[in-house]
Chains A and B, each alone.
Chain A
Amino acid sequence: MFFALIESSRSALISIYAHGLRSFLTTLGIVIGVASVIAVVSVTQGMSSFIGDTFATLGSNSLTIRSFTPFEDQMKGIRARLTPEDMELIEKRGEGIASITPVLYATRSSQIKYGSQTAFSQIMGTTYAFQEVSQSYISIGRFLAQSDNDTRRRVAVIGEKVRENLNLPDNPINEYVEIGGEWFKIVGMLEPKGEIMGQSQDDMVLTPYNTMRSLLGNQTRADISIQLSLTETADAENVSQQLTTLLRNAHDLASDEDDDFVIQTAEQLMETFDTIINMVTIVIGGIVSISLLVGGIGIMNIMLVSVTERTREIGICKAIGAKRHHILLQFLIEALLLSLLGGLVGLGIGYGLGTLISNSIPSFPPANIPLWSVGLALGFSGFVGVLFGILPAAKAANLDPIDALRYE
């Protein structure tokens, strides 16, 4: 059997080589199909492995709670709000919470100045707990301290991007920047985190929560968001359920009213991204399978022509002793090799294409071909070859020797 396989492969290769151009055109469908699969998969996989990496550094067991105003209420001028009291409540009654911090975003005054340099950044008021909750650590200097908050000190911790934008020195500690007309002393710098989808994670300025509250003035209207990290054993789903009940009660929501807040986990966010990417992969994969199918039909068509063309040859081979399986194997292997060769060429082109796409778009993650997609593409083209090769091969193998010999 092994011997027959080798002999069949040998004659199949000779035959493929003898009809070089035809073989190439025959496999074009497979080539294009596989090339597009690989290009799409390499780009999306590059994207998703990058996103996965990034979210892992973000702290996967953290929750963010924000106020949320449904569109209808916005039209009526109603604003949902999370208050410091909500946070106190959660701190006191919430279960499975390791640390918790309020985050107050500077709304109007997101401008920051250093000398003559002005930049816009995300300016937030938060506490020392932010460090653990958001997995943001210090590279130089120190983080915000409890005492900074208690005494409303005018200090700031900045991200790498802010330092660049403001042309601050490499070590910006003890430099002063202007935020909302007030001077802040830089006490620390965050470790760079890079970008997610082209958005810098290092473009932020952290100031003490209480300092920010006094800066914003109107304290009763303050709408904070709350970030918290969970204990090892806590389940994000359970905790967010419990917090939902807690906040709904505190906000006096009737059972038919929607939540006026959202609880988000980092994992959820990542899953959303992943879902989108997988959707794209599946949809394009589906389209591409159709093109592979068409490629397979092309191979079957040419193989049928080839069988007819070689009827006399088949007759001769049978007359000198070829059994059914000899002929069957030869044509089956020819179809298999054709589509596998097409698959290999497609693999190369697809990889080149994927690399080209991700290289030509700046800040796009590098293309990444997972092994499964190589296996899948080759497996699928091989499968197509066998599937569509069986009919022509069986037709050849079943020819009657004397009829085949008489065929003109």
Chain B
Amino acid sequence: MALIELSGITKYYEMGDQVVKALDGIDIAVEKNDYLAFIGSSGSGKSTMLNILGCLDKPTTGEYHLNSKNVEALDANELSEIRNLEIGFIFQSFNLLPRATALGNVMQPLVYRGIGLSKRKEMAMEALNRVGLGDRTDHLPNQLSGGQRQRVAIARALVTNPSILLADEPTGNLDSKTTIEIMQLFDELHSEGHTLIVVTHEDEIAQHCRRIVEMKDGKVFNDSTSHSAKVSH
């Protein structure tokens, strides 16, 4: 069984008497150590998709099996545990804690793992160094540039060493040089055995991925495995 299995997933929003079909019947399977890009026009349902994959949102209908577990059957605390242990989430809008420093933000997921303060600091520093922010640890989010915030968000997702990394436009605010660095980091993570799922609208990013899924109006429009990437299963 694949790491991630979606069958018949829909997500409807009722806006008055109009129904917005953000996701409209998705069947998809993602293998362990896959490297997948979701592309598609704005409003096609990419972020909605990622929220459901990240166990943040629940589908209106359909089944989601993660590691052969039916996610629908899990309660709020069990979902929190999965988000903490299995998943690293990089949000489109960063979602940093405004009153915590860069270091504090990166340490926060470790608090919920019960890791002690000094060990937390050590791990967070390592993650910040990995994204090239080792010299901005004491800055609050509003004292950081957009790109720096994005890198804090990436460091926070990496620090728990999650098996699945979900990234929503992870390079949207970065210059081309940093973008290349981050993508190299992602490639590294992929070769280390992590499963990466990236939402992007940039072709160069998508080209890094082994598999590209194009979405349109809440449906999978095109699902292709590129030739350049190695097949690992």
Q: Chain A: residues with CB nearer than 8 A to chain B?
A: 3-4, 7, 14-15, 18, 312-313, 315-324, 326, 401-402, 405
Task: Please state if A320 and B156 are interface contacts (CB–CB under 8 Å).
Answer: yes
Partner pick for B108 among A18, A320, A323, CB 8 A cutoff: A320
Neighbouring B residues of A320 by C-beta, 8 Å: 83-84, 89, 108-109, 112, 156
Neighbouring A residues of B97 by C-beta, 8 Å: 313, 316-317
Task: Please state if A323 and B114 are interface contacts (CB–CB under 8 Å).
Answer: no
Neighbouring B residues of A3 by C-beta, 8 Å: 114, 116
Determine how close the nearest CB of chain B comes to the CB of A382; give it in whole angstroms.
Answer: 25
Neighbouring A residues of B80 by C-beta, 8 Å: 318, 321-324
Determine how close the nearest CB of chain A comes to the CB of B58; give it in whole angstroms.
Answer: 8
Query: In this assembly, does B230 line the interface, its C-beta being within 8 Å of a C-beta of chain A?
Result: no
**Interface residues contributed by chain B, number (CB under 8 Å):** 27
Within 8 A of A (CB), among B148-202: 156, 160
Partner pick for B83 among A7, A14, A18, A321, CB 8 A cutoff: A321
Determine how close the nearest CB of chain A comes to the CB of B23; give it in whole angstroms.
Answer: 14
Neighbouring B residues of A402 by C-beta, 8 Å: 51, 56-57
Task: Please state if A316 and B109 are interface contacts (CB–CB under 8 Å).
Answer: no
Query: In this assembly, does B98 line the interface, its C-beta being within 8 Å of a C-beta of chain A?
Result: yes
Neighbouring A residues of B85 by C-beta, 8 Å: 321
* CA of A222 to CA of B60, assembled, Å: 103
Neighbouring B residues of A326 by C-beta, 8 Å: 111-112
Instruction: Name 19 extra pairs, CB < 8 A, besides A316-B96, A326-B112.
Output: A3-B116, A7-B111, A14-B99, A312-B95, A317-B112, A318-B83, A319-B56, A319-B89, A319-B95, A320-B108, A320-B109, A320-B156, A321-B81, A321-B85, A322-B80, A323-B80, A323-B112, A401-B56, A405-B91
CB nearest to A310 among chain B residues: B99
Q: Which 10 A-B pairs have the closest CB atoms?
A: A321-B84, A321-B112, A320-B109, A402-B57, A323-B80, A323-B77, A316-B95, A402-B56, A321-B83, A7-B111
Determine how close the nearest CB of chain B comes to the CB of A208; give it in whole angstroms.
Answer: 84
Greatest chain A CB density within 10 A among B51, B111, B116 is at: B111
Task: Please state if B111 and A319 are interface contacts (CB–CB under 8 Å).
Answer: no
Query: In this assembly, does B113 line the interface, its C-beta being within 8 Å of a C-beta of chain A?
Result: yes
5 pairs from A and B in contact (CB 8 Å cutoff)? A313-B99, A318-B83, A320-B83, A320-B112, A405-B95
CB nearest to A312 among chain B residues: B95
Determine how close the nearest CB of chain A comes to the CB of B98; give it in whole angstroms.
Answer: 7
Neighbouring A residues of B51 by C-beta, 8 Å: 402
* CA of A323 to CA of B111, assembled, Å: 11
Query: In this assembly, does B76 line the interface, its C-beta being within 8 Å of a C-beta of chain A?
Result: yes
* CA of A313 to CA of B160, assembled, Å: 19
CB nearest to A321 among chain B residues: B84
Determine how close the nearest CB of chain B comes to the CB of A395; give it in whole angstroms.
Answer: 14
* CA of A324 to CA of B54, assembled, Å: 18
CB nearest to B156 among chain A residues: A320
Neighbouring B residues of A4 by C-beta, 8 Å: 114
Neighbouring B residues of A319 by C-beta, 8 Å: 54, 56, 83, 89, 91, 95
Neighbouring A residues of B96 by C-beta, 8 Å: 316
Greatest chain B CB density within 10 A among A18, A319, A320, A322 is at: A320
